[in-house]
Each structure stands twice: as C-alpha cells, then as structure tokens.
Chains A and B, each alone.
Chain A
Amino acid sequence: MSNLLNEKIKNQAEIFDTALPPFGHFERFEERLERHEQRKNRHARRWIIVTSAAATLALILMFQYFYPIRIPSATTDSIKEVTTYYNRQLQQQINDIEQNINLVNEPERDEILKDITDMENESQKLDKKVPGITEEEYIAYIISRYNMQLESLEHIQTILKSLPNSKKQNL
C-alpha cells in the first residue's frame, strides 16, 4: 500500500495545488512590486552617486600625487621672520660696539671681534630648521639663542660705555 500511495501522490502532485492565496493577492503583489522597483532604483542612484564621488576623490588624489600643489611653507616663513628680526637687532648692537671698539686695547678688541664673528656665524646657521623637532620648538630654541647673544652684546656695550670715562680719566 505504501508504494501505491507514493506513486499515486507523486504522479499527480499538481492535484494537490488546490489552495488559493487570500483575496486581493494580485493587487498586493502589484503594489509590492512597484515599491520594490522604486527602492531598487533609489539604491542604484545612491550607488551611482557614491561611486562617482569615490572616483572623483581618487582622481583628485592621483592628480595631487603626480602634480602636488606647492603650498608656501608657513614653517620656513615663520623661522625666517624670527631670524630676520633678531639679526637686525644683533646687527644694531654690533654696529654700536664697533663704533666704540677702538676704546679698548688691542688684545681685548681682537677678542671682542672674534666673539662677534662667532655670533654672526652662529646666527647665520639658525635660519635652517633642524629636522626632528616641531616648528614651535625650533623657534623657541633660536629665540633663546638670539637672546643669549643679545645679552652678551649688551654686556660688552655696557663695558665699552664705561671704558671711555675711565680712559678719559686716565688720559
């Protein structure tokens, strides 16, 4: 009986397709199909926008890689501004000293001139940024160096200013 039953059902399986979907199924499917297609179109549009944006960005990055836009270096400018300012001050002090340098005897004069030359050499090297430290750190460093040099020059000036009086007195 089992095999007979199997055969009967298998051979006429479509007879069992008797159920019908609930009333209005066609209209519901039509609406759902409409919504589905709209959603798919929205996704497709979004996909196009996203891929276009990504492609544009990639193009910009590639262009930037091959033809980099040279933005003026703020770092170099800032350091240059500082060194120019301090060099001007140094030069003014040096000029003042050189006006009075003849007041001291020769060995001291040579020594002072040597110190001044060393300072000038050092200050010329300061406008080149040292790699490995930030711009702010380097500016702070060169300011401290210039201040030390200016203090030394002021000290020399003070000595020189005091000298003529003693020399005059001696004379």
Chain B
Amino acid sequence: MSDYKTILRQCQKRDRRAQLEFYMLFYKGVYNSAYRILGNPQEAEEVMQETFLKVFDRIEDYDGEVSNMERILKRIAINHAIDLYRKRKIQFISLEDNIYVTTEENNEDETEMQLQLIADKLKQLPEGYRLVLNLHLIEGLKYEEIAQMMQLTPSTVRSQFARARNKLIGLIKTPSPHEQFIK
C-alpha cells in the first residue's frame, strides 16, 4: 500500500486506484461519524459516499497530513448527516423531561468504567442526547459549532449536553434487567 502523500498526489491526477485506496484509508471513521448521528446504516453509507465524492471533486485544494484530511472528511460527513437529520424534522428540544438526572456529588469511583459499556449505553440514549454527546465528546466539536449546525443557541446545546451526560451516567450506574440477571 502506498503512503498517504503518494495516494493524495495520485488522487489529484484522478487515478482511480488511488481514489479507492484513499477511500479504504478513511472510510471507517467517516462512516462512524455519520452513523453516530443518523443511526441508520444505509443513510450513513450514503453520507459517507457523498463525502468522498465531494472531496475528490476538490482534491486539488487539499494537502497536508492524514489527520488533517480525516478531520476534513469527518467534518463534511457530520455537516451532511446533520442536514439529513434536520430534514427528518426530529425535535431536538423535545427531549427535556422524564430523564434520570444524577447530581455532581455522585461517587467519583469510576475507575472500572469500561468504554464498551459507555458505547453500549450511548446507544440507549434518546436521539437528541446521543447526537449532542457524540458531536461534543467523540467528534470534538465545540458547543458553538454544534449550535450553528443545529440552528440552536450555544446555551441550549450546553444545557442539552449536561442533561445528556447526566442521563448517560445514570444509565451506566443503573444496570439493565438483563445485566442484573447475569450478576
């Protein structure tokens, strides 16, 4: 397999093989960014493909390191996915009530917390909460950036994030009936 810079140069020459190598290099991260927002494999794949085609159309404008390119690809995918998400007309704000809110004085003894458990519990969160946690914690977007994408105010995003995080902590601390049975 060629190194990234060679692949990029060949992509700029519209070399099909290099374009496919480029795809293989980044598809997983791009797909996951879209999938975390949309929660639908087909839609996430569509977003992923669109993202690569968009980048190939303007590949001459890009240069630099792999990490930069990954960031660019993920950002394009996230923007596209959020556009799709908004088209579904899901009310982002409508998830305020009926949540289990833990307080800051919770026990700090979390050393045994497993990331796999977090990932599983993230999936159980309501869509709006999952989205804001994904964008801020996993994708590393700032509140202001999320607010702009979602057409909300940063303070709304911040409070939504706080609620989502508390809900996640609550889920982590409360084992599901299935988990209790195993214990």
- Expressed in whole angstroms, the Cα–Cα distance for A17 and B107 within the complex equals 29
Are B48 and A21 closer than 8 Å at their CB atoms? yes
Q: Flag whether B90 is at the interface (Cβ < 8 A).
A: no
CB–CB B108/A4 < 8 A? yes
Per-position binary interface string of chain B over residues 13-52, scored 1 when its CB falls under 8 Å from any chain A CB and 0 otherwise = 0101001100110011101100110000110110011001
B168 within 8 A of A: yes
A15 contacts partner chain B, Cβ-Cβ < 8 Å: yes
Min C-beta distance of B147 to chain A, whole Å: 18
Docked-complex contact B35 and A1, CB < 8 angstroms: no
Interface positions, chain A 25-54, Cβ under 8 Å from B, are 25-26, 28-30, 32-33, 36-37, 40
Chain A interface residue bracket vs B: 20 to 34
Report whether B56 and A33 are in contact in the complex, using a CB–CB cutoff of 8 Å.
yes
Q: Looking at chain B's contact residues, is the secondary structure mostly helix, strand, loop, or mixed?
A: helix
Evaluate whether A9 and B49 lie within 8 angstroms (CB atoms) in the complex, with A14-B29, A21-B31 already known. Answer: no
Name the residue of chain B whose CB is nearest to the CB of A30: B20
A13 contacts chain B at the CB level, 8 A cutoff: yes
- In the bound assembly, the distance between CA atoms of A158 and B115 in angstroms comes to 126
When the two chains form their complex, are residues A12 and B165 in contact, meaning their CB atoms are under 8 A apart? Answer: no
B179 at the binding interface (Cβ < 8 Å): no
Q: Are A1 and B53 in contact (CB-based, < 8 A)?
A: no
Q: Apart from A17-B32, A19-B31, what 6 extra A-B contacts exist at CB < 8 Å?
A: A4-B108, A16-B119, A16-B122, A21-B27, A33-B20, A37-B14
Q: Which residues of B contact A (CB under 8 A)?
A: 14, 16, 19-20, 23-24, 27-29, 31-32, 35-36, 41-42, 44-45, 48-49, 52-53, 56-57, 102, 104, 106-108, 110, 113, 115, 118-119, 122, 133, 137-140, 165-166, 168-169, 172
Q: Give the interface of A toward B (CB within 8 A).
A: 1-2, 4-6, 8-10, 12-22, 25-26, 28-30, 32-33, 36-37, 40
